[in-house]
């Protein structure tokens, strides 16, 4: 069994998903396995996702653009409204059958299975809610987009396709919450396209060797370039008196500041966008030592209109972020 705290994104999703078809999207580039052992014998759930809906329910990332498209628009192959409506009616018929079966099952399962059954029922209710929301919003005009064919071999092409879908999800208000892993924890990926043949994780234990540090910096820069593509894309989409980026707040970062020593303090974190939430950008802010990252999470949730008293080891919201 796995156990963790509910992640910040899912706390926000509980509230902000009331008006969207999808509560959240979990995207990534690498493995989405939730079973088996990964780093140090621990469950792969701890290395392959950063989204936890409950303390025992990690949400797997989706690395296949085709599957993401199907989750957003169904198996219609396009964003055509008529095809989507027919698919929704078919899905509702299937759910009616599932609901009838579950009603009988709920009366006969033992106490030990009740928790898992309730999680399954919650998932079914979420699908029902999404179908109802989709039916209400089916007349909304959507950009004409065809379904991707699968997973690109090229890293940058893969990342851009995932980000195009994420931007489309925001643009059509299918969801307002997402997580995106440009690499899994303990990633063994190499990046020959930028001249780095080393596996990422072994290279991160660079022992301060200049040649290894240079190659590690190349990977970091390459991944930031992918993130910049998403930022620029949203900044180019008009919304109100500004851009979609003004209404979007991205948290970009990592859980380790010095990978060679596994040092978790002084994390390099970027907060991008959020103008309409009062976030003032274009600055470098250094907070006192031992300031919990969870303080930033609390502050972000507050700006999203989902205030919490505490989160993890937080000690309070951060100052100096707003205008």
List, run by run, the mean pLDDT of 10-residue segments along the chain (323 residues): 92 92 94 80 90 94 92 74 66 66 68 70 69 64 77 95 95 94 94 96 95 97 98 95 96 93 92 95 94 96 95 94 81
Cβ proximity of 246 and 224 under 8 Å: no
By DSSP bridging, strand 57-58 and strand 25-28 are unpaired
Q: With 0.95 as the threshold, say if the pTM is over it.
A: no
C-alpha distance across the termini of the chain, in Å: 44
Q: What's the rounded Cα separation, in Å, for the pair 223 and 156?
A: 9
pLDDT of residue 104: 67
What separation in angstroms does the CA of 92 have from each of 99, 127, 131, 183, 315?
10, 9, 7, 36, 45
Q: Is 304 left (phi over 0), alpha (psi -120 to 50) or beta?
A: alpha
Q: Where are the domains of the chain?
A: 8-303
Percentage with pLDDT > 70 across the chain: 82
pLDDT of residue 149: 84
Which tokens go with 143?
Answer: 């950009």
pLDDT of residue 156: 97
CA dihedral 264, 27, 18, 71 (to 10 degrees): -160
Within its chain, how far is the Cα of 214 from the centroid?
Answer: 29
pLDDT of residue 100: 67
Which tokens go with 90?
Answer: 């078919």
Q: What is the pLDDT of residues 22-71, one digit of tens each?
A: 899 999 999 887 778 887 788 999 999 999 999 999 999 999 999 998 88
pLDDT of residue 150: 84
pLDDT of residue 35: 75
């Amino acid at each position: 069994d796995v156990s963790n705290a509910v992640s910040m994104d899912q706390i926000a999703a509980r509230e902000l998903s009331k008006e969207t078809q999808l509560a959240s999207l979990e995207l990534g580039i690498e493995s989405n396995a939730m079973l088996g052992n990964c780093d140090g014998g621990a469950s792969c759930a701890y290395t392959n996702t950063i989204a936890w809906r409950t303390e025992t329910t990690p949400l797997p990332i989706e690395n296949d653009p085709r599957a993401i498209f199907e989750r957003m628009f169904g198996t219609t192959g396009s964003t055509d409204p008529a095809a989507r409506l027919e698919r929704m009616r078919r899905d509702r018929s299937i759910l009616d059958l599932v609901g009838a079966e579950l009603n009988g099952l709920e009366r006969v399962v033992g106490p030990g299975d009740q928790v898992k059954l309730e999680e399954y029922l919650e998932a079914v209710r979420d699908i029902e809610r999404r179908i109802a929301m989709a039916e209400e919003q089916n007349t909304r005009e959507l950009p004409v987009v065809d379904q991707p064919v699968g997973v690109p071999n090229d890293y940058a092409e893969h990342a851009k396709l995932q980000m195009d879908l994420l931007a489309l999800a925001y643009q059509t208000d299918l969801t307002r919450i997402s997580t995106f892993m440009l690499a899994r924890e303990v990633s063994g990926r190499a990046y020959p396209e930028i001249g780095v043949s080393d596996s990422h994780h072994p290279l991160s234990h660079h022992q301060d060797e200049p040649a290894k540090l240079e190659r590690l910096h190349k990977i970091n820069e390459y991944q930031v370039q992918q993130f910049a593509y998403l930022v620029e894309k949203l900044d180019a989409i008009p919304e109100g008196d500004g851009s979609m980026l003004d209404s979007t707040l991205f948290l970009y970062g990592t859980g380790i500041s010095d990978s060679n020593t596994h040092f978790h303090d002084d994390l390099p974190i970027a907060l991008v966008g959020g103008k309409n939430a009062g976030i003032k950008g274009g600055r470098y802010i250094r907070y006192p030592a031992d300031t919990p990252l969870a303080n930033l999470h609390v502050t972000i949730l507050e700006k999203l209109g989902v205030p919490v008293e505490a989160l993890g080891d937080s000690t309070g919201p951060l100052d100096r972020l707003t205008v």
